[in-house]
Amino acid sequence: MGVSYLRRTQTLVADPAVLWDFFADPRNLNAITPPDLDFTIITEDLPRMHAGQIIEYRVKFLPVIRTRWVTEIRHVREGLYFVDEQRVGPYRLWYHEHHFTSTPRGIEMRDQVTYDIGYGPLGGVLDHLWISRRLGQIFDYRRDAVAKRFNGVD
């Protein structure tokens, strides 16, 4: 199957600087990740997000399997966007763009994930049957958690 995409957009009524500060602190990822992923940040003393930053996590990939996940913050443009890319983890490719745009209704926050789980045709079947649905659930949880925190309008 190859490369797949997940896209999510939501509008938030929030001070742009406060919203950016929340996302620029990697420790806040815990607050917007579903509890059943048993998400744990391993990296200690996490400074404010910056290009080149490496962050290591543990996450429950399957109900009984926890895996190591290492991401690198590849690009940051303060207040506008950042990109994290998997270095070690469950995907063959994981490239996650986070965009923040001021609109008359508030701050539009857009996520685009480009991913490939690998494993050839078997990976395509797994993505179709389970992975894409599970990622959708994770990002729906994230949308709801962010909306509660920042007064979402969508």
pLDDT tens sequence across 54-90: 999 999 977 788 999 999 999 999 999 999 999 999 9
Domains of the chain by residue range: 4-150
Q: How many CB atoms lie within 10 A of CB 152?
A: 19
When pLDDT is cut at 50, 70 and 90, the band that residue 141 belongs to is very high
pTM of the model: 0.93
Of the options 3.30.420.40, 3.30.565.10, 3.30.530.20, 1.20.1260.10, the CATH number for the domain spanning 4-150 = 3.30.530.20
Work out the percent of the chain whose per-residue pLDDT is above 90: 88
Q: What is the pLDDT of residue 62?
A: 75
Q: pLDDT digit string (tens) for 14-37?
A: 999 999 999 999 999 999 999 999
Rounded to whole angstroms, what are the CA distances from 28 to 3, 4, 41? 28, 26, 10
Sign of CA dihedral 22, 24, 29, 30: negative
Q: What is the pLDDT of residue 151?
A: 82
